[in-house]
Structure 1
Amino acid sequence: MKAKSKEAVPTDVYLSFVSSLFGNRQTLFTGMLVHILTYVAVYHKTGDSVFVLLCVAFGVVFANRIFLFARFSQADKSNWGFKEIRGWELRYIVGAASTAAILGIGCGYSILAFEDTFVELACISVTMASMVSVVGRNYGSRLAVNLQSSACCLPIIVCALFANDPYKLLLSVMLIPFVLTTQAMATGVREFLYENVIASREMRKLVGSFDTALNNMTHGLLMLDPQNRIEVINRKACELLNLGDRYRLKNCDLDVVLRYGVRHTFVDGSMPNLIQRQLAQLMDGTISRAVMQFSEDLVLEFSASRRPEGGVVLIFEDVTARVRADRKILHMVRFDSLTGLPQRGYFADLVLENVAARTKSGEIGFMVLDIDEFKHVNDMKGHVTGDRLLAAVANRLLKLAAGEAIVGHLVGDQYALFFPNAEGRADLEQRMRDIHAAIAGNYDVDGTSFTITFSAGAVLIESSELRMEEWQIKADLAVFESKSRGKGSFTAFADEMDARYIERQRLKTDLQAAVENDGLQVVYQPMFAPDGSRIDCCEALSRWTHPEKGSIPPNIFIQIAEEMGIVSGLTRFMIRQACRDCVTWPDEIAVSVNLSVQDLRSDDIVQTVLDALADTGLDPKRLHLEVTESSLIEEMAAVRLILEQLRKHGITIAIDDFGTGFSSLSYLDALPVDQVKIDRSFVRNIGEDARRLKLLRGIVTLSRQLELGIIVEGVETQDQLALITKYNCADLIQGYVFSTPIASSRVADMAERARKKLILAGTANVA
């Protein structure tokens, strides 16, 4: 890089060159003193007053230059531009060139006027010595070098020319290459320094940028040498580690800094062993990343990179917020937010940890508690109250099982307890029974007192035989057994339950095949007019005859279908078959099909019904659909929309098992319903229980005021029929008093017999 013109040189570089001209006053003083003493000596030798005048000239120039140097030092250079700097350069050049010219004139005069060797040698020697210093002092100004070298040598050459001595002339001519060499050397020094000044400036800029970037990093940075001494540390590192002023830490040992060396450090006395060990592993390359907790409020994550020349670079950041969030998420994953108990997965982890810590095998136990009829709490009081009840149960469980069992929340209204330290099987089972008995009772939630019972299932096994995927299956089987025995039961798992479970799984497989392959049968229970004179409708009832086990009761296989989620497939089969059969009956007879809760969770049922009507050609008015109150309670708004769509097509809607749910009467006006089927529980013992008869009549009165058709189910005796007829409690009667369920082929015959019976009865009355 060459600076051939001052305009091309950056101002700061130009200023540095000019400043170098004014830089060393000591050499200026020494040179001027030597010049004067030399010329005094020559005057003493020659007695020529010219040399006195030259000494005076030296003194005047020296004084002027000293004054100029002082002004330059005191001047404010911060706002100087090229023009100001150029002016000071020219002032310097005038003084320097004047000194050189005086030296040149003295040399030329000694050559021309004297033949004295001492005089010539003295003048030329001091002049040549000054010429040598020109490069070292004046390299910053090309003009200064050129003028000084010319001012020194030109008088010598001219005077040698007039001395009429060819040898002196020859020697003087030799000064020309000396001058050129001097100028070339000065140029080389100037360009070399120019390149270094530019490089230095770029380096400072780079260092400044690096320092700015380093100290504005969001991460802390430590650069250590092979002896673990701090070479570089940024501001963020000092803030995170509370190390104070970073400039005091250079070349300090990191371990010493963190242990004892910094007044502001948060480490008391010595570093925790874990932090010290992790740092050592980072530095020796054993690990490349580590999370270190320095305090409750500070967690740092370190990463390390080895340096090729030795040492390590540590980069770290404050991850306290992230760690807290991770812990919170982990807590949410592990613990149920409602009850505060371990969830299923974490409960299993706690069990495995406990069993793994045992020194020897022993008896362990699991108990699963299921709140009986918890759904009714949600239905009556809402889910908020239900949630608070779950939390209350969890709190009581924790108190009862404190120190004896690990309590977890499985799902919904199910809790699990693990008993790790039992003395014996009998004692363990008894402790489970005690907790099961104690957990039941009254719970006061939101001003309401609930009497709660629990169905419990227990599993007792050797710890060495624990299989996490098996114990809950066995516990669930035991809970299922408890529910089948009645509310509030406790059942310990037995091997025969497993056999029944396997049998039930086989039934599920066979039922799936039966539904898919139309392997079910349909029978129909007629609904008669109260006097038995006609059949108005027949309810379609599903039947399953297993190829090996024979007839499977509907309450069993329908429950299995609900567990499997294939009830909708069963419903599709029933609707399609019922429509096919109804087409073959007399036109005045309709068919009724039950819809399940699962059917009403999607409006697909509407298309299923319409497809069946279209395929069979059945008049929609002859199809009745029955829905239970439980399906209405779950999602009333969605169910209402579905029922309205069905009713628009002329299909009759009936509420089945009316009166067995909760707040039943409130749904009559809100839903598109045509009929109510009063449950058999209202008919039983109406002859002996006057209160039950009044209740039946009240329901009937309300239903008639709402213009709803009334069907009474479960009428089995003539006495029941007589009372119902006497008080006009039914439009239709369904029950064994008229008929059991029959095959489709018998419906027409039975309807014909009823018609003939009516005709005979009319003839008898006429007679």
Structure 2
Amino acid sequence: MKAERQNAVPTDVYLSFVSSLFGNRKTLFTGMVIHILTYLAVYAKSGATFYIYLTAVFVLICAYRIYWFHRFDEADKSNLTRSEIAEWELLYLYGGVATTTVLGVGSGYAILMLRDPFAELVCIAVTMASMVSVVGRNYGSPIAVNLQTMSACLPIMLGCLMLGDFYMTLLSIFLIPFALTTRMMANGVREFLYKNVIASREIAMIADRFDTALNNMPHGLFMLDRNNRIQVVNSKASELLNLGDQNRLKDCDLDVVLRYGVRHTFIDGSLPALIQRQLAQLIDGTLSRSLIQFSDELALEFTANRKADGGVVLIFEDVTARVRAERKILHMARYDSLTGLPNREYFVELVQDKLRERPDVGTVGFVILDVDEFKHVNDLKGHVAGDRLLHRIAKRLKTVAGSDTIQARLMGDQFVVFFPDADDAASLDQRIRTMHAEVCGDYDVDGHRFRISFSCGYVVMESDEVRMDEWQIKADLALFETKSRARGYCTAFEPEMDARYVEQQKLKADLRDAVENKRLHVDYQPMYKPDGSRIECCEALARWIHPEKGTIPPNVFIQIAEEMGIISGITEFVVERACRDCTTWPNHMSVSVNLSVQDLRNADIVAIVCAALEKSGLDPARLHLEVTESSIMDELVTVRAILADLRSRGITIAIDDFGTGFSSLSYLDSLPVDIVKIDRSFVRNIGEDSRRFKLLRGTVNLSRELGLKIVIEGVETKDQLALINAHRCADYIQGYVFSMPVATEAVIVLSDALRRKRVARRRESVA
């Protein structure tokens, strides 16, 4: 862009050029005074009144220019249009060109008319001096330079030419390059200044944009020199650190500035040693990134980049929300949301940290607490009440265990406590038992009071013997021992428990193998008519003969199977075998099979039974299915539907161990039941205890009123049998008084023997 193309010059640059015309007014007015004094001197020397008139014109021009200079100073230049700026330029030209015209006329008059050396010299000198000042004062207007140069030089050139002197003519010609040089000089100055104005404007624009970007960036910024003094700081940095006006921070030492901000904002006192050390490491290049926690309410993440001159640029952002979110996520990952206690994984970390902190070897202890009968709380009051109870338990456990312990929730209703530092095993044992006693007791939840006990197992060992994969096994073994003996007590781990555990695990593996490969067998306990004349039904009883241990009692392996969740496999095997064996017995005989609680939790048992009947071809009426009272109570709705489905297929349903539960009598009229098997506890001592016999008769009478058949279990003596028969208490008798459990072949033998006896009696009666 050429500066001479005035219309192409941006308006703001054009304004700056025009403003320069109205500047430097001291030299301008000094020149005007010199002009006036010069012309008065010429008048005094030559007596030419012409110069008096020129002096008067100078005075008028000076007044004109002073007036318009004053008006320009008062004008609002921020809103000037380009045409208005051009008008101000024109007003300046009137005064400037008028001044140079008077100077030129005065010089030409002196050459042509006065021919006085003093007058010629002084007039031309003053005119040439004014022409030089035109370059410095009027460069902003090309037309001003051109017009003033022409108006000053032309009268001199005309005066020289009109003398007709060769040398004067030559002098007039020399004025042409002078005028051109003056014009070129002014244009050069104007071009140079134009480029600088444009560059300055661009620099200012860039600086403004940089300042805007710097002060609107979401990060704080410090630019430091090699002496740790602040060169640049943005408003976000001042805001985050509460440092006040950012302009006051330039050239201040960063450490002093941060001490001021920290002292007045975050922490009373000097800059904390950790923060100071982190900042020093960032500045000296040891760290390139660091998260600095100034307070609970402010966490800043700093990034440092070193400059070539040894300075450092620190950029930082507020990551408080992120840190809080990370802490929350970490807390959720480490702590149980219900109780607020550490979870299993974090508990292990805390224990390991405690063990590493120990200066020497000492006694430690692990305790596992299991809430007894917690399922009943959920069943009776709902899971919300159960959750609140667990929260209360955790709160009490933290109190009674002590602040020097680590408590956690393992899972469900199990808690664990670690005692990291005990004087000796005896004192720790006593402390654990005291804690167990104190955590047991009454808990109030939503207006309900629960009497809660805990089964407890614990292990005491030396700290250098702790293996994180072993302590829980040992504590669990102790807990299992507690549950095996009596719930609500506290048991310490003993080495023999480990051997029993290993043995138990091997037994479980063997049982699983026996069930999967059908290595069990079935015995049958007959149910006789009360007079013993015929076997009406046989109860199928699972038996397991271990290849190494021999016969395993049913109460042992059945319980193990229930714990392992494989009892349904045993049921399926027994149902299939019982149906198959029953088809080999006389047609009047039935077979009875016990169903477990797990069998009755879904309708799969219906398919299993139907498949066994279909495979064996047994009449469904000859199959009896026995359910215990406890299994009915646990899953009443589900069990009722399953039993109704089975009964609708012609299968007989019996309640086993009747009278041992809570609400036996209240469910008799609402369940699809055909037979009631009265538990052996009703039969014991009925000859000696009249109250017990009355209870037996009452139960029998109630059952008969409901149209149910009666099986009395556990009849072992002839006296018991006689008393039962005397009062017609049973439809079937099951017990050792007639037969112990026998193999299926023996059932046929017993049945044939009874048949032969009946035939013999009929013959005797006929004879």
Q: TM-score range by the shorter chain?
A: 0.7 to 0.9
Q: Deviations over 1:669-728 (max 9, x none)?
A: 88x8556765736645383666667777777788888x8966757454477778888888
SS at match of 2:684: coil
User: Offset at 1:655?
Assistant: 6.7
> Which residue of structure 1 lines up, in the alignment, with residue 246 of structure 2?
246
335-344 vs 35-44, which moves further: 335-344
Structure 2 residue 131 is matched with structure 1 residue 131: yes
> Which residue of structure 1 lines up, in the alignment, with residue 49 of structure 2?
49
Q: Deviations over 1:513-545 (max 9, x none)?
A: 444444444556677787889988776654444
User: Offset at 1:421?
Assistant: 4.0
CA contact (8 A) 2:711 2:730 kept: yes
User: CA separation of 1:267/1:361 partners in 2, compared to 1, >3 Å: closer, same or farther?
Assistant: closer
Structure 2 residue 91 is matched with structure 1 residue 91: yes
The separation in 1 between residues aligned to 2:316 and 2:723, in whole angstroms, is 88
Structure 2 residue 165 is matched with structure 1 residue 140: no
User: CA separation of 1:341/1:46 partners in 2, compared to 1, >3 Å: closer, same or farther?
Assistant: same
User: Offset at 1:459?
Assistant: 1.8
CA contact (8 A) 1:673 1:708 kept: no
The separation in 2 between residues aligned to 1:224 and 1:505, in whole angstroms, is 70
CA contact (8 A) 2:263 2:270 kept: no
User: Offset at 1:169?
Assistant: 4.2
> Which residue of structure 1 lines up, in the alignment, with residue 365 of structure 2?
365
> Which residue of structure 2 lines up, in the alignment, with residue 472 of structure 1?
472
User: CA separation of 1:37/1:555 partners in 2, compared to 1, >3 Å: closer, same or farther?
Assistant: farther
> Which residue of structure 1 lines up, in the alignment, with residue 256 of structure 2?
256
Q: Which segments of 5 or more consecutive residues in structure 1 lack a partner in the other structure?
A: none
SS at match of 1:129: helix
The separation in 2 between residues aligned to 1:387 and 1:551, in whole angstroms, is 44
> Which residue of structure 1 lines up, in the alignment, with residue 686 of structure 2?
687
User: Offset at 1:466?
Assistant: 1.5
SS at match of 1:222: strand
User: Offset at 1:314?
Assistant: 3.2
204-213 vs 470-479, which moves further: 204-213
> Which residue of structure 2 lines up, in the alignment, with residue 550 of structure 1?
550
The separation in 2 between residues aligned to 1:198 and 1:755, in whole angstroms, is 130
The separation in 1 between residues aligned to 2:640 and 2:140, in whole angstroms, is 99
Question: What amino acid maps onto 1:687 in structure 2?
Answer: I
The separation in 2 between residues aligned to 1:25 and 1:528, in whole angstroms, is 141
> Which residue of structure 2 lines up, in the alignment, with residue 275 of structure 1?
275
User: Offset at 1:305?
Assistant: 3.4
Q: TM-score, normalised by structure 2?
A: 0.81
The separation in 1 between residues aligned to 2:3 and 2:748, in whole angstroms, is 120
Counterparts of 1:293-692 in structure 2, within 5 Å, are 293-320=293-320, 322-323=322-323, 326-327=326-327, 330=330, 334-336=334-336, 338-339=338-339, 341-387=341-387, 389-391=389-391, 393-394=393-394, 397-398=397-398, 400-402=400-402, 406-437=406-437, 439-440=439-440, 451-521=451-521, 542-566=542-566, 673=672, 680=679, 683-685=682-684, 687=686
The separation in 2 between residues aligned to 1:532 and 1:367, in whole angstroms, is 57
The separation in 2 between residues aligned to 1:149 and 1:677, in whole angstroms, is 137
The separation in 2 between residues aligned to 1:89 and 1:647, in whole angstroms, is 118
User: Offset at 1:122?
Assistant: 3.5
The separation in 1 between residues aligned to 2:235 and 2:6, in whole angstroms, is 41
User: CA separation of 1:101/1:541 partners in 2, compared to 1, >3 Å: closer, same or farther?
Assistant: farther
Question: What amino acid maps onto 1:15 in structure 2?
Answer: L
Q: Deviations over 1:45-91 (max 9, x none)?
A: 44433333333322222221111111111112232222222222222
CA contact (8 A) 1:258 1:265 kept: no
The separation in 2 between residues aligned to 1:617 and 1:157, in whole angstroms, is 147
649-658 vs 550-559, which moves further: 649-658
User: CA separation of 1:621/1:172 partners in 2, compared to 1, >3 Å: closer, same or farther?
Assistant: farther
Question: What amino acid maps onto 2:74 in structure 1?
Answer: Q
> Which residue of structure 2 lines up, in the alignment, with residue 21 of structure 1?
21
User: CA separation of 1:78/1:399 partners in 2, compared to 1, >3 Å: closer, same or farther?
Assistant: closer
Question: What amino acid maps onto 2:146 in structure 1?
Answer: N
Question: What amino acid maps onto 2:304 in structure 1?
Answer: A
SS at match of 1:78: helix
CA contact (8 A) 1:145 1:186 kept: yes
User: CA separation of 1:186/1:625 partners in 2, compared to 1, >3 Å: closer, same or farther?
Assistant: farther
> Which residue of structure 1 lines up, in the alignment, with residue 200 of structure 2?
200
434-443 vs 412-421, which moves further: 434-443
Question: What amino acid maps onto 1:362 in structure 2?
Answer: G
The separation in 2 between residues aligned to 1:734 and 1:245, in whole angstroms, is 100
The separation in 2 between residues aligned to 1:555 and 1:605, in whole angstroms, is 22
User: CA separation of 1:611/1:722 partners in 2, compared to 1, >3 Å: closer, same or farther?
Assistant: same
The separation in 1 between residues aligned to 2:185 and 2:540, in whole angstroms, is 119
The separation in 2 between residues aligned to 1:163 and 1:757, in whole angstroms, is 183
SS at match of 2:77: coil
Q: TM-score, normalised by structure 1?
A: 0.81
CA contact (8 A) 1:105 1:155 kept: yes
CA contact (8 A) 1:660 1:679 kept: no
The separation in 2 between residues aligned to 1:741 and 1:252, in whole angstroms, is 101
User: Offset at 1:132?
Assistant: 3.0
CA contact (8 A) 1:215 1:236 kept: yes
User: CA separation of 1:2/1:655 partners in 2, compared to 1, >3 Å: closer, same or farther?
Assistant: farther
The separation in 2 between residues aligned to 1:168 and 1:105, in whole angstroms, is 17
The separation in 2 between residues aligned to 1:233 and 1:595, in whole angstroms, is 82
Question: What amino acid maps onto 1:132 in structure 2?
Answer: V
User: Offset at 1:450?
Assistant: 5.0
User: CA separation of 1:358/1:174 partners in 2, compared to 1, >3 Å: closer, same or farther?
Assistant: same
User: CA separation of 1:588/1:18 partners in 2, compared to 1, >3 Å: closer, same or farther?
Assistant: farther
CA contact (8 A) 1:289 1:303 kept: yes
CA contact (8 A) 2:223 2:312 kept: yes
CA contact (8 A) 1:379 1:633 kept: no
SS at match of 1:255: helix
> Which residue of structure 1 lines up, in the alignment, with residue 228 of structure 2?
228
SS at match of 1:491: strand
User: CA separation of 1:682/1:382 partners in 2, compared to 1, >3 Å: closer, same or farther?
Assistant: farther
SS at match of 1:458: strand
RMSD: 4.7
Question: What amino acid maps onto 1:277 in structure 2?
Answer: R
Question: What amino acid maps onto 1:311 in structure 2?
Answer: G
CA contact (8 A) 1:682 1:696 kept: no
User: CA separation of 1:42/1:703 partners in 2, compared to 1, >3 Å: closer, same or farther?
Assistant: farther
The separation in 2 between residues aligned to 1:185 and 1:604, in whole angstroms, is 111
Structure 2 residue 151 is matched with structure 1 residue 151: yes
Count matched residues: 765
Q: Which segments of 5 or more consecutive residues in structure 2 lack a partner in the other structure?
A: none
The separation in 1 between residues aligned to 2:356 and 2:229, in whole angstroms, is 45
CA contact (8 A) 1:659 1:678 kept: no
User: Offset at 1:253?
Assistant: 1.4
The separation in 2 between residues aligned to 1:531 and 1:645, in whole angstroms, is 34
> Which residue of structure 2 lines up, in the alignment, with residue 69 of structure 1?
69
Q: Deviations over 1:726-752 (max 9, x none)?
A: 888888777667766666777788888
The separation in 1 between residues aligned to 2:484 and 2:661, in whole angstroms, is 21
The separation in 1 between residues aligned to 2:459 and 2:613, in whole angstroms, is 52
467-476 vs 322-331, which moves further: 322-331
The separation in 1 between residues aligned to 2:494 and 2:415, in whole angstroms, is 20
The separation in 2 between residues aligned to 1:587 and 1:146, in whole angstroms, is 142
User: CA separation of 1:181/1:393 partners in 2, compared to 1, >3 Å: closer, same or farther?
Assistant: same
CA contact (8 A) 2:385 2:446 kept: yes
The separation in 2 between residues aligned to 1:191 and 1:79, in whole angstroms, is 25
User: Offset at 1:493?
Assistant: 1.9
